[in-house]
Amino acid sequence: MVTQAELSVSLSGITLKNPVIPASGCFGYGAEFAELYDLNMLGAFSFKGTTLAPRYGNPLPRIAETPGGLLNAVGLQNPGIEAVLARELPRLAQYYSGPLLANISGFSLEEYVRCCERANESDQISIVELNISCPNVHGGGLAFGADAACAAKVTAACKKTSKKPLYIKLSPNVTDITEIARACEAAGADGLSLINTLLGMRIDLMRRKPILANAMGGLSGPAVFPVALRMVWQTAGAVKIPVIGMGGISCARDVLEMLLAGATAVQVGAANLVNPYACKEIIEELPTEMERYGISSLREIIGAAHR
């Protein structure tokens, strides 16, 4: 193993000891994982998607397996921003002290802004990660992230109120990811996270109906990695702000590919649900994979595939 391998990266002036971040929705608030290993080895951690009010989520069933991946239509189940600040974050501080991303969701511009205002009150939160894949209930139901003008509007409103670096999590369910990315950058985003899940479905042959009660859900897992890598490569070439890459990452080699494509850090999602030690193992594998490809520092390869 390479003992001198430099794994650290920087997001908006915040140093991460390595680029590996458990993705929102696949790690909860970390309590179950903290029983298995020391979470302080992580580069950072994005906690469960949070809305202004508590949400039970979508009706069951809301999870379905598929070759090479997982479909989910959980529906942002969470206790609401006030409970997160009052209860979950103090509990989290007992076993994790590294950089924390607050994944914020909303169904109106006002909800996003209010959640960002409340996130300002927590010293634990390092970065606000705005999930703009939610349907805009005051805008005809179209997802905030599906339209460049709408994405720019919510970015600008939240940037105006947020005292934390603001990263926008982009949906892949668009015609041109770079158009949305540039709109968010122009509106003041400090960084971008991508990709969120791809829209998919499965049908139960016996019942002749969709497996998910919601019919459609988000596809994640290894099957989406090539799509995610392509979109990260396109986006990193179109903007000058940092990109966090995610989508099907399951090993150290995937991390290196994402960084070469232009990501500064990565998030690991569905892999945690298959193997709870996934992030730990990826971090431990990185020095060996770096040695295999003659890499001494991760910072030196960020965006190298564009050069």
For 219-236, what is the mean pLDDT?
98
For 208-213, what is the mean pLDDT?
97
For 94-108, what is the mean pLDDT?
96
Domain positions in the chain are: 9-50+82-199+219-306
Catalytic residue among 134, 150, 158, 184: 134
The token duo for 253 is 């080699």
What's the pLDDT at 4? 77
Tens-place pLDDT, residues 239-285 = 999 999 999 999 999 999 999 999 999 999 999 999 999 999 999 99
Secondary structure percentages of the chain, helix, strand, coil, to 5 = 35, 20, 45
Q: Report percent pLDDT > 70 for the chain.
A: 97
Q: Report percent pLDDT > 90 for the chain.
A: 94
User: Does the annotation count 134 as an active-site position?
Assistant: yes
Tens-place pLDDT, residues 231-246 = 999 999 999 999 999 9
Q: Is residue 3 scored above 60 in pLDDT?
A: no
Mean pLDDT in the chain? 95
CATH number 2.40.50.100 is the correct assignment for the domain at 9-50+82-199+219-306:
no
What's the pLDDT at 1? 43
Tens-place pLDDT, residues 131-174 = 998 776 676 667 899 999 999 999 999 999 999 999 999 999 99
Which neighbouring-strand residues pair with 63?
A: 72
The span from the CA of 19 to the CA of 15, in Å, is 10
Going from the C-alpha of 200 to that of each of 68, 69, 210, 218, the distances in angstroms are 13, 11, 11, 6
Q: On the CB side of 266, how many CA atoms lie within 13 Å of its CA?
A: 34
Q: Which residues, at least 6 apart from 255, have a Cβ–Cβ distance to it below 8 Å?
A: 19, 20, 249, 266, 282, 286, 289
The reported pTM is 0.96
